Structure 1
Amino acid sequence: MARWFIMAGLVLIVVGILIYLAPWLFNWFGKLPGDIRIEKENSKVFIPITSMILISVVLTILINVIRFFGK
């Protein structure tokens, strides 16, 4: 379990560095078809459904590949 926490921490550090140094890599987030954005005069609602589904699929594939080759 400790190994998973270390891996998760390293992934978060790498993603944080990428967002800090190269924010243009993540401009697509929230702008895909299916993402809901409602803006009115005094309120904003943002629901990135499609973006989160895409991230979930990519992470699932990545974790399964790591588990498959880790044995």
Structure 2
Amino acid sequence: MNAETGKYIMITGVLILVIGAVIYFFHDKLHWIGRLPGDIRVERENFRFYFPITTMILLGLLASLVIRIFRKY
């Protein structure tokens, strides 16, 4: 390991902390996450299937944007 690895680990930790704080303080305003159009939800009497495809696409795009910004600076 080198100093660059330590820097990435610290940045990841800060991002996790910020995401956790946002979820903790704004959980009542984030109820739309996972209920977007395109998310697949099947609920039956004894069966539940949930596949949040639209949510995962948006989170993937957001993660790509964040990674691109960090690599630029």
> Structure 2 length as normaliser, TM-score?
0.82
User: 1:43 is matched with which residue: 44, 47, 51?
Assistant: 47
CA deviation profile, 1:33-52 (whole Å, cap 9, x unmatched) = 11011111112111111101
- Runs of 5+ in structure 1 lacking a partner? none
- Between the two proteins, the alignment pairs up a number of residues equal to 69
Structure 1's consecutive aligned runs of 4 or more residues displaced over 4 angstroms after TM superposition are: none
Task: Calculate the aligned-residue CA RMSD, in Å.
Answer: 1.3
Distance 2:22 2:69 in 1: 22
- Aligned residue type for 1:51: T
> Structure 1 length as normaliser, TM-score?
0.84
Is 1:24 paired with 2:39? no
Distance 1:57 1:25 in 2: 21
The residue number in structure 2 matching 1:59 is 63
Q: Percent identity?
A: 35
